[in-house]
């Protein structure tokens, strides 16, 4: 296991904190007057050892896959992104194939480290700890999913779509490995960020889930809506009232030492509901709580490391916007900004610190609403940025 000193040797960057989240597109939008490409996410594999019921890329998962594009080719396109600030790595389970770790992930992380770019890797953290130790010092955020109370929940949720029977014993082992890994890596100084998707199942248990996230030593708890995409497409969503009550309960019961990040929140300062507007204000005034605006298509693109396709998000139905064989990433991003979907959802109310809704969330909760015709009804002017 690496020491805290080794973790501390990462490139000198402003530490991540509620005051500085480089994935949040708010900063570039508010300071430069337009959205700008500052982040690239790579889908480095479509292999995974789980098949979670809520997986938003579940239908793309495969049992075997070939060889991704050479890391050099991916890095050449990163070199062209003038203001690159974040690099994200996702799957599938990125760590499952040692070859992907060696030939794709490590070169990308090293490149990011040398350039002073912040990095995130999404993992289910169920593999032996030794599979993470060699490279995790180059990761700024190790992102995991956490939607369970116990082994039994994990067994049901993680193997829901597996296609064959998985014994409770086998699932228990993976669950315990994940929890132990999260604790060990957190103890070693790794920034572990656990994400919970609010669903009819997790919503009633959010306080307990949060307590367990804190107990694993995670520095951050991310709370998002369930994205009705791929496997999750047929899952029931909680209604907005339940969502709001769950957020309030979490705020009332949270561990104040854990940063809570609400991502792609389905509440906006232009809401006709006073309770939603009050919640927006409360979220921006709580210590150690942030609302992150949707990076996908606002400051980030996703690149598929096998096909080279560039898409606006790794889940959702927007077809590829380009390919790294032929297109510079900034060109693709500028093309996306002119897309009707971007124009529809990229509204902006600076006085309330809002850059508009996520596409999937807007479709799920605000079908037919024209956000371009709305305006914030509350202001955060006078609050710290």
Q: Is the peptide bond before 186 cis (omega within 30 degrees of 0)?
A: no
- In whole angstroms, how close is the CB of 150 to ligand SF4 at the nearest point? 37
Let me know: does 332 contact 321? Beta carbons within 8 Å.
Answer: yes
Region binding ligand SF4 by CB under 6 A among candidate stretches 49-57, 129-137, 296-304, 343-351: 343-351
Q: Which of 194, 270, 329, 332 binds ligand SF4 (CB under 6 A)?
A: 270
- In whole angstroms, how close is the CB of 86 to ligand SF4 at the nearest point? 22
Q: Which is nearer to ligand SF4, 154 or 268 (CB)?
A: 268
Let me know: does 112 contact 138? Beta carbons within 8 Å.
Answer: yes
Region binding ligand SF4 by CB under 6 A among candidate stretches 159-167, 189-197, 268-276, 297-305: 268-276
- In whole angstroms, how close is the CB of 353 to ligand SF4 at the nearest point? 9
What are the residues whose beta carbons fall under 8 Å from the beta carbon of 195, sequence distance 6 or more? 143, 144, 145, 146, 221, 222, 223, 224, 263
**Residue 283 sits in the site that holds ligand SF4 (CB under 6 A):** no
Q: Which is nearer to ligand SF4, 197 or 270 (CB)?
A: 270
Q: Which is nearer to ligand SF4, 25 or 316 (CB)?
A: 25
- In whole angstroms, how close is the CB of 111 to ligand SF4 at the nearest point? 34
**Cα distance from N-terminal residue to C-terminal residue, the chain:** 38
- Of 118, 135, 55, 141, which is closest to residue 91 (Cα–Cα)? 55
Looking at the DSSP assignment, which residues form a beta bridge with residue 34? none
| C-alpha dist (Å) from residue 316 to 21, 152, 173, 182, 312 | 24, 30, 32, 29, 9
| C-alpha dist (Å) from residue 314 to 47, 59, 64, 82, 249 | 15, 12, 19, 23, 31
Q: Which of 348, 360, 361, 380 binds ligand SF4 (CB under 6 A)?
A: 348
**Residue 25 sits in the site that holds ligand SF4 (CB under 6 A):** no
- In whole angstroms, how close is the CB of 196 to ligand SF4 at the nearest point? 23
Q: Which is nearer to ligand SF4, 24 or 93 (CB)?
A: 24
Question: CA–CA separation, 297 vs 274, rounded Å?
Answer: 29
Instruction: Enter the tokens of residue 157.
Output: 């949720």
**Residue 356 sits in the site that holds ligand SF4 (CB under 6 A):** yes
In the chain, count H helices and then E strands.
14, 11
Q: Which is nearer to ligand SF4, 181 or 264 (CB)?
A: 264
- In whole angstroms, how close is the CB of 373 to ligand SF4 at the nearest point? 8
- In whole angstroms, how close is the CB of 295 to ligand SF4 at the nearest point? 16
Region binding ligand SF4 by CB under 6 A among candidate stretches 207-215, 222-230, 251-259, 262-270: 262-270
Draw the binding track, 359-378, toward ligand SF4 (x: CB under 6 A; -: no contact). ------------x--xxx--
Site size with ligand SF4, rule: CB under 6 A: 15
- Of 196, 220, 225, which is closest to residue 358 (Cα–Cα)? 225
Instruction: Enter the tokens of residue 224.
Output: 């998002």
Interface ranges with ligand SF4 (CB under 6 A): 268-270, 347-349, 352, 354-357, 371, 374-376
């Amino acid at each position: 296991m690496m020491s805290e000193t080794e973790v501390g040797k990462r490139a000198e960057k402003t530490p991540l904190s509620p005051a500085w989240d480089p994935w949040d597109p708010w900063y570039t939008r508010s300071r430069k007057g337009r959205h700008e490409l500052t982040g690239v996410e790579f889908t480095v594999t479509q292999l995974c050892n789980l098949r979670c019921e809520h997986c938003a890329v579940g239908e793309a998962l495969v049992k075997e896959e070939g060889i991704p594009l050479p890391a050099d080719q991916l890095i050449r396109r990163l070199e062209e992104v003038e203001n690159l600030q974040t690099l994200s790595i996702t799957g599938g389970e990125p760590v499952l194939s040692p070859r992907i770790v060696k030939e794709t992930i490590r070169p990308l992380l090293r490149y990011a480290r040398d350039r002073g770019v912040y990095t995130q890797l999404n993992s289910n953290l169920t593999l032996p700890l030794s599979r993470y130790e060699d490279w995790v010092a180059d990761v700024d955020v190790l992102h995991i999913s956490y939607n369970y109370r116990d082994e039994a929940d994990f067994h049901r949720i993680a193997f829901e779509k597996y296609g064959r029977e998985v014994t409770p014993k086998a699932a228990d082992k993976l669950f315990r490995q994940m929890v132990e890994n999260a604790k060990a890596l957190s103890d070693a100084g790794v920034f572990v960020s656990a994400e919970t998707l609010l669903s009819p199942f997790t919503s009633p248990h959010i306080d307990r889930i949060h307590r367990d996230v804190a107990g694993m030593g995670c520095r951050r708890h991310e709370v998002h809506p369930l994205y009705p995409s791929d496997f999750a497409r047929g899952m029931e969503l909680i209604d907005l009232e339940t969502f709001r009550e769950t957020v309030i309960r979490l705020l009332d019961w949270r561990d104040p030492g854990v940063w809570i990040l609400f991502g792609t929140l389905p509440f906006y300062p232009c809401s006709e509901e006073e309770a939603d507007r009050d919640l927006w204000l409360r979220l921006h005034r709580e210590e150690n709580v942030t609302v992150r605006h949707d990076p996908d298509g606002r400051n980030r693109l996703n690149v598929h490391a096998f096909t080279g396709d560039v898409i606006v998000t790794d889940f959702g139905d927007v077809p590829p916007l380009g390919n790294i064989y032929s297109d510079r990433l900034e060109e693709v991003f500028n093309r996306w900004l002119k897309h009707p979907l971007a124009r529809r959802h990229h509204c902006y109310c600076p006085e309330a610190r809002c850059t508009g809704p996520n596409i999937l969330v807007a479709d799920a909760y605000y079908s037919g609403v024209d956000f371009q015709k709305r305006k914030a009804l509350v202001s955060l002017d006078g609050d710290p940025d």
